[in-house]
Structure 1
Amino acid sequence: MTTHTKILIADDHPLFRQALLLMLESSFNNACLLEAETIPELEHKLANTTDVDLILLDLDIPGAQGFNTLSNIRELYPEIGVIVVSGFEEPDTIRKAMSLGAAGFIPKSTPVPEMIKAIEDVLQGKLWTPTDDHNKNTPEQQQAEKLATLTPQQHKILHMFADGLLNKQIAYELSLSESTIKSHASTIYLKLGVKSRTQAVILLNEQQLAQASLSPFHRH
C-alpha cells in the first residue's frame, strides 16, 4: 500500500468511527488517519490539511443535507476520492452518489474484507460499488458470513457478551486489558454491521437458532 496515505473519516457515530480507524490502522501501514464528526469539522480539516487522498463520508453526518456535501467536496476538491459509507443501501441512493462523483459506495453492513478491498480499489483509481451477489444471499447467509469474519478471540468475546459478562470480567477471564476488550468490541460491531453489544448478541442468537433448526443434532 502507498505509504502515508491520508484518509479522512467523516462519521458522527463514535463506535463505528473507532472501528473504521482500527480496521484502517491494521490494513494500511503508515496511513495518516483523520476524523470529523460534523460537516463544519470536515470542512475545517479539508481547508487545513494538504494531500488528503480519500474521504470516507457518511451521508447521515450532521449538517450533510443529503447529497449536498458530496457535491460540494467534488466541486472544491476534485482531486480527492470520496467513498460514501452509508446505512442506506437502496440502488437509487448508490446510483445518485456515483452520479455525483463518488468513487465508491460502501454500505455499513459490508463485511470488513470487502470494505478493505473497496478502499484499496478506490486508492488505485478504480470505482467500487456493492456486488449483487452479497445482496442475493438470504439474511441468514449474510449473518453467517459476517460471523465467519470474526477471529477465534472475537468469537469467544461475543459469546461472553451473550453470557452477560461485563468488559472488566471478560478482561480478567482472558488476561487482557479492559481497553483491549473495548477495541475488540468495536471491531466485532463493525464486522457484524451492528451498533451495540445487544444487537451483536441478538445476531449471534438468531444465527444459533437458524443453525439449530437446520440440524436437530446441532451441538451448542
Structure 2
Amino acid sequence: MTNHIIVADDHPLFREGLRRLVENAIVGSLVHESETYAEVCETAERFGPPSLFVLDLLFPGFDGAHSVQELRNRFPISPILIVSMMADDTVINTLLEAGANGFTSKAAPPAILENSLTKVMDGEIVICRESDIPAWEVKTSPTPVEALSPRQKEVLLYLRQGLSNKEIARALDISPFTVRIHVSALLKTLGVTTRAAAAAIAARERI
C-alpha cells in the first residue's frame, strides 16, 4: 500500500527539499506538496487520510493549534509532524495537546529530520528543538536581520511603532496566535528578549 504524505510550506525551495527528504526517508511514498492550508485539506479529502502530515507552522490559512485540532478531528489516524523554526515550549505543548505527534526544528540536519519522520510514522512522539541539536550541526545565517522572513520584518516594523499583537493581527489580517509566533521567532533570531530591544534594532537598521 502506497503511503500518501502531505508536505506543506509556503517557501518553494524548502518545500521541495522537504519533499525529497521525505521520499528518501520513506521509500515508495507518494508526496503531495501544498502551499496553503486549503490545499492540504483538499488533498487529504481527495486521496483519503494521509499516512503523514508534514507541516510548517506558518503558511497561508494555517492557524496553529486550531488547525492541528481540526486535522486531528477530520483525520484521527494520520500522524502530524510540525517542522518549523519556532521553538517556544508553550507553543509546542499547545500543538501537541491539539493533536500533533511531533515537532522538529527546521535547523535540524537531514538525518535528524528523517529520524523524526520515521519515528512519528511508527507512532512515537518526537520533539527536537534547535537547542536539542549539537551546535556544530546547526546552520547559521549571515546576520540576524537578514535571517528574518519578509513577514517577520513586517511584524518588526509594527513592533517599532508600538502596536500590540492584536493590532498587528488586524493590520496584517492574520490571527493574534500567528503574530505571537512571529514575535517569538524574530526575538529569538535577533538575539533579544524584549519587544523594546527588537524595536531598537529595527530603528537602528531603518526597518
Q: TM-score when scaled to structure 1? A: 0.59
Q: Which residue number in structure 2 is paired with residue 65 of structure 1?
A: 63
The more displaced of 114-123 and 61-70 is 61-70
| Runs of 5+ consecutive residues of structure 2 not aligned to the other structure | 148-207
Where do 1:130-169 residues align within 5 Å?
A: 130=128, 135=131, 142=135, 144-146=136-138
Q: Which residue number in structure 1 is paired with residue 6 of structure 2?
A: 8
**Mapped partners of 2:121, 2:57: distance in 1:** 20
Moved over 4 A (4+): none
**Mapped partners of 1:121, 1:136: distance in 2:** 17
Q: Which residue number in structure 2 is paired with residue 103 of structure 1?
A: 101
Q: Which residue number in structure 2 is paired with residue 18 of structure 1?
A: 16
Deviations 1:6-45 (A, max 9, x none): 2100111101101111212223211111111001111111
**Mapped partners of 1:37, 1:193: distance in 2:** 25
**Mapped partners of 1:21, 1:93: distance in 2:** 25
**How much does 1:193 deviate?**
7.1
- Taking structure 1 as reference, are residues 110 and 49 closer, same or farther at Cα in structure 2, changes over 3 Å only? same
Q: Which residue number in structure 2 is paired with residue 81 of structure 1?
A: 79
Aligned: 1:127 with 2:125: yes
Q: Over aligned residues, Cα RMSD in angstroms?
A: 2.3
Q: Which residue number in structure 1 is paired with residue 41 of structure 2?
A: 43
Counterpart contact for 2:25–2:118, Cα < 8 Å = no
**Mapped partners of 1:193, 1:43: distance in 2:** 34
Task: Give the number of equivalent residue pairs.
Answer: 144
Q: Which amino acid aligns with 1:84?
A: I
| Runs of 5+ consecutive residues of structure 1 not aligned to the other structure | 147-191, 200-220
Q: Which residue number in structure 2 is paired with residue 52 of structure 1?
A: 50
Counterpart contact for 1:108–1:193, Cα < 8 Å = no
**Mapped partners of 1:108, 1:193: distance in 2:** 12
Q: Which residue number in structure 2 is paired with residue 118 of structure 1?
A: 116
SS in 2 for 1:67: helix
Q: TM-score when scaled to structure 2? A: 0.63
- Taking structure 1 as reference, are residues 81 and 193 closer, same or farther at Cα in structure 2, changes over 3 Å only? farther
**Mapped partners of 2:22, 2:75: distance in 1:** 22
**Mapped partners of 2:13, 2:27: distance in 1:** 22
Higher CA-based Rg: 1
Counterpart contact for 2:7–2:32, Cα < 8 Å = yes
- Taking structure 1 as reference, are residues 61 and 193 closer, same or farther at Cα in structure 2, changes over 3 Å only? farther
**Mapped partners of 1:193, 1:55: distance in 2:** 27
**Mapped partners of 1:78, 1:22: distance in 2:** 26
**How much does 1:96 deviate?**
0.9
Deviations 1:146-188 (A, max 9, x none): 4xxxxxxxxxxxxxxxxxxxxxxxxxxxxxxxxxxxxxxxxxx
Deviations 1:110-162 (A, max 9, x none): 2211111111111111111126xx6267xxx62x224xxxxxxxxxxxxxxxx
**Mapped partners of 2:75, 2:57: distance in 1:** 17
Counterpart contact for 1:9–1:35, Cα < 8 Å = yes
**How much does 1:59 deviate?**
1.6
